Structure 1
Amino acid sequence: MIKNKTFRWTIQSAAAAGFVATTMLSGLAHAGPTLDKISQRGTIKVGVGTTPGFFAPDSNGKWQGFFIDFGRALSITVFGSPDKVEFTSSSPQQRLPALQSGEFDVLLSGVTVTATRAFKLGFHFGPTVFYDGQGILVRKDLGVTKAADLDGATIGAQSGTTGELNVADFFRKTGKTFKAVTIEDTGQFIAALESGRVDAITQDSSDLVGKRTQLKKPDDYVLLPERLSKEPLAPAIAGGDDRWLEIVNWTVNATIQAEEWGITSKNVDEFLKSEDPAIQRFLGVDKSFGEALGLDPKWAYNVIKTVGNYGEIFDRNLKPLGWDRGYNNLWTAGGLLYSPPFR
């Protein structure tokens, strides 16, 4: 009698576990509204900016840059190809409304994660792909060495960015004054500095480093050492599609995890021979992991083989501009980059 009860309990438990597993898998396989649109049109629409190193078309009109590579990685995860993606430049004023209206599937335009954008605008953010901070770019002939020296200066900030509020907070906190000039046209942002309309411009330091290269005489300008704020830059998507959010999350995480394991675009094939079960799951040698996610078992392998790990993406696009890894290093090297486990 005890044996029969035990047997029935075992069968019922197994059936229940199977039902839960089936339900989870069917839920994972179900595409949300954004993924449905992506599948139907056959491409991912990505909103980007225009900053050398991060996003800029080359001489042939092909988009290149740090954030561009993450867009291509998403295309690989979804379609198995890096070319099923459309990049469109969008100004800081246009990009958030465009995402809300469905014009873009994802913003990879250096969007700062903020509570207001999450709660009020209803955006979801992927992992931080670049830890940044707001800086100030000034003319060297002003003779200033720190932001507080700009007391009474005229400073330009782009409308539609967090820069407007951050610079105001900084000067209010330090008891200094400044004259704010709000500039909408991205093309006029550096022109205002070159023409002398403003003494300095303020924006994410990543943006300013790129814009400095666009000045006619870059050596006449200097980026001050302070960072006025924390600016974690992450992919942004509209709310309501959890499946799409997780694809964004784990595509970014894959580039970080690959670097931690030492897997690169050049040696990834050698790692296919690894006996480490975690690496076998990651690269699709163990196909059950990818199949459980509803993805091509080799999706992470294909991402790394094609665009490389995070370090390769950084070095290819940003190192030539003089960027150091800093906070954008792995947690094992004193940085903030950390991937959850692939299991």
Structure 2
Amino acid sequence: MGRNKYERAIGQEPEGDLWSFTVSNSNNLPLQAAVGVYPRQSGASQHGNVSTAIQSECVEIAKKLGWTDEHIVVYKEDIVVSGRKKMYERLGFSRMIDDITNGRVKAVLAVDVDRFFRDEWGSQYTTFMELCYEHDVIVITPDFISNFKREDHREIFVFNCRRTAMYLKFQVRSRLQYPRKYLQQRGYYAGLGSPPVGYDVDKKPDSPTYRKFIPYRPHAEVVRWLFERYNELQLDVLALAKEIWEKKYILFPLLDDTASDLLRGKLRVTPVTKDGTALGVSKESRQGAEIVGYTLHRAGLESLLCNPTYIGT
């Protein structure tokens, strides 16, 4: 079957501007209905970089294609939500599905198919294709305008979704995990998770312990006491947890000036107010509270006592 105005060979690079192919092949678009712009990013760290700028440009592209402001719907809720989440687990995507099923939206626009899905098994993007098929919705990306009434368009969309999933599986999850494991096996902080309680990360490039865990002494002393007390209680973690909560111990003092910014942003202990109230993890529960120190819940205490990082320290 010959290619029509909506097609381009798979893998063929666009000439000129990123969206030039789509803009120059945009006849007969459903301009009487709304277009849904889905600007999901890979993560919060992408705010303010080139990827953010490209995806923000989607609204301007929709205008170039002929839609007016009142016919452009932007689903901002999912801006930093993982593409591996199912459609109905994402607030913005759920709203977009509602707009598709009620006929408000007849076109969906994104900078790439990987903005919609990172679905290794294919259940999500095939369901989405069927939904668009049933409601006459086209999908617009820089290099393709997909009309799922056509079998060849469905095949190309599936190919692109699979290609994205395979890239993530072998490039990101496999190849990029090796450097992290390499660092971890040599005692370096690999950038994942929080430093174990009682440790900070040396951020001074000229230091012999650069990027390694170093004791944060005000908290390290408490960790040593916890292990000592745990032994005195004959390895009874429940008794230790009960003792901490009954006596309302403020185990860990507030961070001082020697703590790194990384530790301040990733400290995983429970804040405690002056009257001994332990606060939740949400910012709302901590807002306006006078935090005087930190403690540990039972789960946090068990995690600390089982952490192999403390062996020999």
TM-score by length of 2: 0.24
In terms of fraction of residues, the more strand-rich structure is: 1
Which one has a bigger Cα radius of gyration? 2
TM-score by length of 1: 0.22
In terms of fraction of residues, the more helix-rich structure is: 1
Instruction: Name which structure has the greater RCO, CA cutoff 8 Å, separation 6+.
Output: 1
